[in-house]
Amino acid sequence: MAVDEAKLNAFMGGFVHDLGAALHAATIVVGDQLGLYKALARGPSSVEALARTTETDPRYLLEWLSAQAASGYVQYDPSTKHFSLSEEQAFALAEEGSPAFIPGAFQVVAAQFKAISKIAKAMQTGLGLGWHEHDVALFHGTERFFRPGYAANLVSQWLPALDGVEDRLRAGAKVADVGCGHGASTLIMAEAYPQSHFVGFDYHEPSIAHARESARQAGVASRVSFEVATAKSFPGSGYDLVAVFDCLHDMGDPVGAASHVQKSLAPDGTWLIVEPFANDRLEDNLNPVGRIFYSASTFICTPASRSQEVGLCLGAQAGEARIREVCLQGGFTRFRRAQQTPFNLIYEARP
């Protein structure tokens, strides 16, 4: 075997970076759970002072802070031996509502590691692994990871990009949010459009229970409801808007779901489809964003689809052409890309 030493060294350099990132992920989850980032965002602190504030052990805390500093997630001043967060680090790590908030993403990572043995078996047997079979960290992490992006874009960019939809929402529309999970997207829309009525559907009963409580706390329960139902069986008709956020590719029968959505819409209704950003060709997705989505798809999206009745397995990198095909096969006649972000593609489908 002829090994190019320069290429090997470059590959090993990437390995060191990736190993550090993988090990660092667990420290982020712990820091988030213990409120360490939020405490550190209040200002520079010594290890001892931060330990007292957060009721943690100073020796463990020193090791954790050192790991954060080595990873570029915390600042360290050797002259004072104080640790701190920059404005940007605090925005991403300590401000739950910020559009750059990232700790939830690492809860998803933690859930993936807990599913290793199940996925290894699935890859041998070809069987699936349902969303409900994952660790609870996945459900909470997904909400916390996706909610900032929805909060930043849904009302300000995505809904206005749909033909006539925002006017309907302001006047009073009937909206279904299918595959709503914990209801973050549903509640963002409900709070922005107080004249409209919303119902969120998800097959996962614990997520629906969580969403109902969130609606109660937000004070919108009188015009927002959540029900347990699948994308092919959710009740109701005459919807002005049906939305699916980052979940169409997870469905076993997305064409069947598309057909049911088409039948549930008012004649001039709109289907909003939000999907992970992806190009149509695999080779065009071999980049940092594609790496994230292909990895998540291996553990979460493809197994979820495979666990269902048809298991089309679109995967998280389906791309526009395949989503268009699903919509047309489901009975829609009009389809377009309405908006995009570095992480999402936003489609509009009409009957």
pLDDT tens digits, 177-217: 999 999 999 999 999 999 999 999 999 999 999 999 999 99
Which residues have C-beta within 8 Å of that of residue 41, sequence separation ≥ 6? 85, 90, 93, 94, 95
**CA of residue 4 relative to chain centroid, distance:** 40
Amino acid 311: pLDDT: 76
pLDDT tens digits, 217-273: 999 999 999 999 999 999 999 999 999 999 999 999 999 999 999 999 999 999 999
- Which fold does the domain 104-350 belong to in CATH? Rossmann fold (3.40.50)
Which residues have C-beta within 8 Å of that of residue 182, sequence separation ≥ 6? 139, 140, 142, 143, 207, 210, 211, 214
Strand partners, 199: 176, 225
310 pLDDT band, cuts 50/70/90, is: confident
Closest to 83 (Cα-Cα) out of 123, 37, 125: 37
Q: Are 347 and 336 in contact (CB under 8 A)?
A: yes
Q: What is the mean pLDDT of residues 129-152?
A: 96
Closest to 83 (Cα-Cα) out of 119, 51, 111: 51
Does residue 309 carry a pLDDT above 90? no
Does residue 148 carry a pLDDT above 90? yes
- Which fold does the domain 5-92 belong to in CATH? Arc Repressor Mutant, subunit A (1.10.10)
319 pLDDT band, cuts 50/70/90, is: very high
Q: What is the mean pLDDT of residues 94-98?
A: 91
pLDDT tens digits, 23-72: 999 999 999 999 999 999 999 999 999 999 999 999 999 999 999 999 99
Backbone angles phi, psi at 34, to 5 degrees: -90, 0
Nearest-angstrom CA–CA distance, 285 and 181: 27
Amino acid 161: pLDDT: 98
pLDDT tens digits, 186-197: 999 999 999 999
Within the chain, residue ranges assigned H as helices are 5-33, 36-40, 47-54, 58-71, 87-93, 103-114, 116-125, 136-153, 165-171, 184-192, 205-218, 254-264, 288-296, 302-306, 320-329
Q: Are 181 and 139 in contact (CB under 8 A)?
A: yes
Strand partners, 348: 272, 336
Amino acid 33: pLDDT: 97
Tokens of 264: 């549930």
User: Could you count the other beta carbons within 10 Å of the beta carbon of residue 183?
Assistant: 26
Q: How large a percentage of the chain has pLDDT more than 90?
A: 97
Q: How high does pLDDT run on average in the chain? A: 97
Tokens of 176: 């279904």
Amino acid 1: pLDDT: 78
User: Which residues in the chain are classed under CATH 1.10.10.10?
Assistant: 5-92
Q: Are 262 and 285 in contact (CB under 8 A)?
A: no
Q: Are 71 and 77 in contact (CB under 8 A)?
A: no
**CA of residue 131 relative to chain centroid, distance:** 13
Does residue 82 carry a pLDDT above 80? yes
Strand partners, 227: 201
Amino acid 288: pLDDT: 95
Q: Which conformational region is residue 315 in: left (phi greater than 0), alpha (psi within -120 to 50 degrees), or beta?
A: left
For residue 344, the SS3 value is strand
Nearest-angstrom CA–CA distance, 171 and 210: 29
More confident residue, 96 or 49: 49
8 pLDDT band, cuts 50/70/90, is: very high
More confident residue, 142 or 311: 142
Does residue 116 carry a pLDDT above 80? yes
User: Which residues in the chain are classed under CATH 3.40.50.150?
Assistant: 104-350
Nearest-angstrom CA–CA distance, 233 and 230: 5
